[in-house]
Structure 1
């Protein structure tokens, strides 16, 4: 097909190729995430679509340079992001788990490949070593639930170091022997060259790095280029030693691990460059090699895909089971270890791609590996989420209470005419004797006549400042210049140590364009919740708060285990006193006990009544008992946290539908921000649990059926 300027498909010109690939990197994860497909798989599928097995838009090999760089980068980050300090603390237990999670998949996987699937020796060894790798895709879920200090999690992280290193050693043997025989001369040559190469990287690179960072102190660009150069130097030295370049990149990451703090600006730049450019190019290049049509041509491809996936899951569970018995862990800890170690992604793709390029394995195994990655990532996230919740509840008694020493309230200004109600509410929340100032934040974009617009905004907020003065409350106005509202609020919260954010309820625009945009990129409120982890109150006020007769507090199951539980209970009790309203708490029996205990601890004198229900969905039954002058406070949760329930996604719509005339507040408690230990993992990927969604749907259906049968029995 001929296009303008003589361009023809498949494209070879770098400009249109870059345009297509960059728009894929931008849009593919966003669109496919709505179909519950993780970003890693989404980019591979996009590569399949544009490659010669799809629509043949881009010529084969046209992005190999960036793809190769991404392959090296992904292995470099695998070594760089490993927490060596935690590994040293639990090294003995980590070695136990690392040994079993390596040797069991390797041994059983070899039997499957060699004797049942009839692969040759090299192919069997390569594929079975792929079973042994694991990627900590689900680690951020454990982080959000606050269980990262539990031994089950720390030794799972430590086991990653063992498995990755051992698998890369096997890969070194495979790649080193591909052109010769495994005789004595081969082992001597490989051992000597590998030892020299490893010493240069693991001993020489830290010395060079320490000297460089001391001499060149403030040039961040030069620091990044230096690290980048060391990655490729490590890969080059590996190839000179007769092994694959990714081994050099991984060892370079281990060598520079202690020199680049995980929270440093340099680490941020390294991860940003990888996630934004190199790794997406690599994943797209992998997709261009995949031909899923092979799966439809016969039973062989489907049998291989199913066998590989089943072996990957079963051997990782067996390794976690044996480790549990030896270390005397609980069944919940075993499931957490299995969930964290069962996901296959970055290292798996790297190893299997090397084998495919070297003609050790065929397209059946490559295609089967893509299916394996998709299934194991889903299962790993699902198991970690469910077992992690149980482990967090068990550990809750061991974790000291988090006390908010400073209480600072921030009101982001969206509509200056609607700030008075938010300000009155914020004053009522104050639990300190000496009232701290309430901060009113306006976020603006950097544009022409910015100074005039800031002056005009301050003038518009004079009314709010005067309104605060009437209640002896100091109102401090702040202006931030940022890309968007969510980023500006997140920065202000961190810089000013804000404890509570009070924002107005934003009604979605009814236009089709706005609906499509919000569904793809998220509303402003959703983006704020994704970036602000302190307590957030989303308020919709239809009448003055001082006319409230009753506060209906709706709590989800496990709400008491969130770290912000103690803080918001104090806030709600203070609100009830100021408004002169009694509190009706709707929750489970366990949450009721925790709430009553917290009330006693705070010496709360509020009038409190309890209404029992087991599921947050049942609170709609209370609609008949809720009057128009009642304030409804629904305590929600961010995705992936202990008290999160999929029903919460529909909570705003349910409140608007059934309690349109009421004042109501969605309260998001302070929760733990996720830590990411794997490159290419996006925050939205962590909630891609279609298995969990379907289980929730089945549970809803079963409850509905039970209610119908109960009605008939009556």
Structure 2
């Protein structure tokens, strides 16, 4: 018993050293924090940072900085930057890159311009110390990005330019740090600039040319190995962070660029994206926030008037510089007050990059202990300010977004919650069909995706129903990985097409998504006839799809629209789905149609406030449809808007196009839409 008590006493000696106990304590904090914050109405980020202060070496001393905590903290910071790059709307980012550059200039130059004279003239530091400290004001860490991500406002333009500006300003600050260190050590020469330029050039080539190609090959070759996709993504993130360090910049730059490199290959509604966000938000990012708190030494406030003066001055200058940068950005781009506040909230948090700059300067003897301690207090103060500002501003942006959506919904023709039906024919290719449905589904609709199997009405009908139901259960888990709800149906009917039509009416489906008919032989007759039977049996907007490669590896939507398509009842629905697919896959749309259809489609895109890049080309020669093959690219999704017999946009030539697609473009992904 005595030995047991001695062992127990040893295990609970402070600071805790048992890695299992340390990990358990941190998990307990991450678990309890949300429960506490709900009752106290305090943002979760602040709770986690304060928890870190309490249990850290400068608080109660339960934990000390260790290699394991440093590792998880680094992973968490890299994860924040990676998710920021991954969630960035690339179409919006490209459209607003000049705004990101300008915000980056504001948020770098204004804090630097205010900070240098304050440090040099007011606090009486020398040039190197003043310039290095002022550059620290220009940095910021996206501490509060998880808030905008959780509230689903990460695609707002203000958020996009702030994320883009972050990478620009932090890169500039780290280059400034390298310059000051070179000046301090006397190594600032032509060789320094040559080495920095070459290393950054090689790193850029790897990130923007090599990584996307390797990722595309991996996702295509290992399409069915879903669990290995996440391991591959993590590998890319950390290798990219390491390569960034080799290139002479911070690892966070590499993690962010890894997010950009994989952005188009990981759709936002995919199961892989859900796994990335779930593990990051549940474990790694909270770990990082706790470790930030562990750095804060409250006792420096009481170490003397100079420490207080320096800490107060640094904090005021840091907050003021970021507020002025966000205010000037708002004035320049005519943003709302909520957008200004979210820019300020995202850009005012100081942590990793700030600490990196100051510690390097302190170890080199450029800055003194007062600035080091003042920076620690600055990290705490700006973390609280940034969290409160972002929480309120993101909430307002969310409310404004929901209000706009509500207005659009009320003004929409025949509004109701969207329902999608997926009849299953070939279970081997059904995973791509389900993924497609998850991508284009209206995320605001509470209705699940309905999967249907129709079995013949014969003596074995009951056995076949049971078998079909068992097979369909596998797809429930696939959908749940993407946080999409599905429901399965199995029904009996003498005629498959009639069974599908009956179920579509029963669940009041808006959209029916079919796989491509799989018969071989007399293509012209069989493919066309089966499509005709399926489409004729129901009057719902129908998509008939075939995907020859993973959805995320496509590069363009090649859309062909017949005359008078805008007159059909399902026009706005299929245009909205094309826009959603373009946004999810981050691909441009090229549309072949006549002038009237061009105007109508363009108007629909404007109503949706779409950022998708769209190109229009006039096309009228439907009898020579195959001529479009000259403009098609290998990685296109070819989308044909067809028409039912007797409808306004129907023309006889449309009946033969499915067979032509099957015969001449068999290697391409294709969708035929029947409004």
Q: TM-score under structure 1 normalisation? A: 0.51
Q: What per-residue deviation string (whole Å, max 9, x for no partner) do you get for residues 568-599 of structure 1?
A: xxxxxxxxxxxxxxxxxxxxxxxxxxxxxxxx
Residue 78 and residue 385 in structure 1: after superposition, are their counterparts in 2 closer, same or farther (change >3 A)? closer
CA drift at 1:3? 5.6
Distance 1:263 1:306 in 2: 44
Distance 1:42 1:90 in 2: 34
Distance 1:29 1:396 in 2: 30
SS at match of 2:267: coil
Q: What per-residue deviation string (whole Å, max 9, x for no partner) do you get for residues 591-623 of structure 1?
A: xxxxxxxxxxxxxxxxxxxxxxxxxxxxxxxxx
Matches within 5 A, 1:518-533: none
**Could you tell me which residue of structure 2 aligns to residue 168 of structure 1?**
171
CA drift at 1:269? 0.9
Distance 2:113 2:389 in 1: 22
Which residue of 114, 118, 143 corresponds with 1:112?
Answer: 118
Distance 2:331 2:70 in 1: 46
Q: What per-residue deviation string (whole Å, max 9, x for no partner) do you get for residues 230-252 of structure 1?
A: 11111221222233322222222
Does 2:259 align with 1:259? no
Distance 1:229 1:347 in 2: 28
Residue 52 and residue 408 in structure 1: after superposition, are their counterparts in 2 closer, same or farther (change >3 A)? closer
SS at match of 1:37: coil
CA drift at 1:228? 0.7
Distance 2:408 2:326 in 1: 24
Does 2:77 align with 1:71? yes
Which residue of 29, 35, 46 corresponds with 1:24?
Answer: 29
Q: Is the 8 A contact 1:356 1:366 kept in 2?
A: no
Does 2:241 align with 1:235? yes
CA drift at 1:253? 1.8
**Could you tell me which residue of structure 1 aligns to residue 337 of structure 2?**
335
> Could you list the runs of 5+ residues in structure 1 that have no partner in the other structure?
410-437, 440-479, 481-487, 498-714
Q: Is the 8 A contact 1:79 1:251 kept in 2?
A: yes
CA drift at 1:365? 0.6
SS at match of 1:358: helix
Does 2:275 align with 1:269? yes
Residue 404 and residue 174 in structure 1: after superposition, are their counterparts in 2 closer, same or farther (change >3 A)? farther
Q: Is the 8 A contact 2:350 2:382 kept in 1?
A: no
Q: Is the 8 A contact 1:10 1:56 kept in 2?
A: yes
Distance 2:483 2:193 in 1: 56
CA drift at 1:352? 2.0
Distance 2:244 2:31 in 1: 33
Residue 136 and residue 304 in structure 1: after superposition, are their counterparts in 2 closer, same or farther (change >3 A)? farther
Which residue of 206, 216, 226 corresponds with 2:212?
Answer: 206
The higher relative CO (CA closer than 8 Å, separation ≥ 6) is in 1
Q: Is the 8 A contact 2:137 2:317 kept in 1?
A: no
**Could you tell me which residue of structure 2 aligns to residue 195 of structure 1?**
201
Q: Is the 8 A contact 2:16 2:62 kept in 1?
A: yes
Residue 281 and residue 136 in structure 1: after superposition, are their counterparts in 2 closer, same or farther (change >3 A)? closer
Residue 156 and residue 68 in structure 1: after superposition, are their counterparts in 2 closer, same or farther (change >3 A)? closer
Does 2:382 align with 1:372? yes
**Could you tell me which residue of structure 2 aligns to residue 157 of structure 1?**
160
Matches within 5 A, 1:509-520: none
Q: What per-residue deviation string (whole Å, max 9, x for no partner) do you get for residues 98-150 of structure 1?
A: 43344323332344344434551453244222259785566469857xxx88x
Matches within 5 A, 1:529-608: none
Residue 305 and residue 35 in structure 1: after superposition, are their counterparts in 2 closer, same or farther (change >3 A)? farther
Q: What per-residue deviation string (whole Å, max 9, x for no partner) do you get for residues 406-452 of structure 1?
A: 4799xxxxxxxxxxxxxxxxxxxxxxxxxxxx99xxxxxxxxxxxxx
Q: What is the aligned length?
A: 411
Residue 57 and residue 223 in structure 1: after superposition, are their counterparts in 2 closer, same or farther (change >3 A)? same
SS at match of 1:262: coil
**Could you tell me which residue of structure 2 aligns to residue 646 of structure 1?**
none
Does 2:136 align with 1:127? yes
**Could you tell me which residue of structure 2 aligns to residue 522 of structure 1?**
none
Distance 1:237 1:391 in 2: 39
Which residue of 55, 60, 73 corresponds with 1:50?
Answer: 55
Q: What per-residue deviation string (whole Å, max 9, x for no partner) do you get for residues 1-39 of structure 1?
A: 966163232222212112212111211343245334322
Residue 79 and residue 230 in structure 1: after superposition, are their counterparts in 2 closer, same or farther (change >3 A)? same
